[in-house]
Amino acid sequence: MNDSIDRAFEELKGNPALPRHVAIIMDGNGRWARKRHLPRLAGHRAGTESVRAAIRASAKLGLSTLSLYTFSLENWRRPRVEVEGLMRFLREVLHSEYLELRENNIRLRAIGRLGMLPRETRQALDETIDKLSGNTGMVLNLCLSYGGRAEIVDAARSLAGAVRDGNLPLEDVDDKTFRRYLYDPELSDPDLLVRTSGEMRISNFFLWQLAYTEIVVTDTLWPDFREEHLIGAIREYLSRERRFGGLKEGSDDDIG
């Protein structure tokens, strides 16, 4: 890590305006590999260092939560060899990164339709979550077999069942009640969403949670993403004024 990055950490660390929860759509692995005439899985493997850099930087800054869009529901439609390679790669990463996560006091969580994961992958995930459960630092939240619409549908089904069974009065249903039926109701809404590779869309990610999230898009492909890119996104976030639908005095904006 160079001196300028070290200075940036010192400048930002402890700033009360820092985002508590940062979410990242890690996009561009395939394009990174294609530019180098490599198979797509080579791009996913190259992105490991970017994951490591994002986790280290987030923990060093003292963020509460880092959510990584790791594998979407739509990703199951990819060629079988790629999906199997990604599941195998996820198991390898959980094993290889466990010690560093433990040493950095990081807790691990995962959300999504986890029952769709292969047995070996789900077992490795559950074991790693359990072994890190005693930590007290930043939460690393992996979104696996995840889709924002699916999360809302699953929450609606569970809520409807509670109403049907008489455990929840219909008149008590509001947005706070609905939140209790999301995959992880204790997970705060992201303050900042970072998307790599320049694509201007949220790709079915955190549809409920992103209502007032600040979004920063970088052209950097995910395997090239490092600490300085996260610092740049956070600086951009700090330059904005969050109004959550309210009005700044003297503002003519209709939507906050």
Per annotation, catalytic residue among 2, 15, 29, 75: 75
Calpha distance 84→182 (Å, rounded): 28
Per annotation, catalytic residue among 27, 29, 141, 191: 27
Question: CB under 8 Å to 2, separation ≥6 — which residues?
Answer: none
Calpha distance 248→78 (Å, rounded): 46
DSSP string, 124-153: HHHHHHHHTTT--S-EEEEEEEE-HHHHHH
| Catalytic (active site) residue 219 | no
Cα 51 vs. chain centroid, distance in angstroms? 11
| Catalytic (active site) residue 184 | no
Calpha distance 15→8 (Å, rounded): 12
The tokens for 97 are 């990164």
Calpha distance 197→185 (Å, rounded): 30
| Active site positions, annotated | 27, 75
